[in-house]
Amino acid sequence: MLKSLFAAALLLTPLAAHAEAQAQDDCPTFEVKGEGPDVLLVPGLASSAQVWDGTVAALADRYRFHLISVPGFAGTPVAEREGSVPEALAQRIADYAACRKLDHPVIVGHSMGGFTGLLAAREHPDRFSRVVVVDSLPFYPLVYAPDATVEVVKPRAEAITETLRSMDDATFAATQANGARSLTQSKEGQERIVAWSLATDRATMADAVQALMTTDLRPELAEIATPVSVIYATNAYAAPERMKALYETAYADLPDAQFTPIGDSYHFVMWDREDAFTAALAKALEGSDGE
């Protein structure tokens, strides 16, 4: 009997080892920098993980950063997916944390990345220790219409995404260059935004915009048990009082959410106010170190 069990074990061991190796092969691969507790850095719409370069340089001696790249964005190859772009990315992040055996990492997401972090925390309540949302709302259209609903916004979303899909390359490039000026005060940053947009798969970008404009997470925020910190920008066009009301109302069903405004900044807070952003992020991460 023992000989039979031993023989079976010899036969099964290579299969088990192969299965484990196969699981590792299937695990997403992202660039990792630094040493310390694990932090997943998620870029926003049509952005590269390089958006976090300054953050990593400032804090890599205290945290191990995983630089998440988004399929179809900024030159990253398109991948098959199930669900919307944010939904698929949220699952990819959760799978990565699981197969790399990360111990309750923090998700830090900018723009669409913050929205994605909320999705991941909702679907996987025990996997992450905190979500840090950077200049993002649980329903994007609130930025221009505080009383927006999915039903009201849907026709506009369809028109915008159809325009994105059909626009010729020259017009698209000009549109992106014009829009970039309202996203960061940095000339170099504006150039990077445009370059990343031009390297982004247009269909993936349109699908992501459609999802962001027609997905309202506010009714589901109460389901998120993971602590959430929100860092948001204010400036002459986005007055502090208005932004405070907008964000605190949007996240009202997360009563323990922590809010940190950063003044004199556009959307890319990590570029426009690098030192202030790094300090705010470090404070949020310190609050997660023992959770």
pLDDT for 179-238, tens place per residue?
Answer: 999 999 999 999 999 999 999 999 999 999 999 999 999 999 999 999 999 999 999 999
At residue 214, what are phi and psi to the nearest 5 degrees? Answer: -120, 15
Domains recognised in the chain with CATH numbers: 30-138+217-286 (3.40.50.1820)
pTM over 0.85, yes/no: yes
pLDDT tens digits along 77-119: 999 999 999 999 999 999 999 999 999 999 999 999 999 999 9
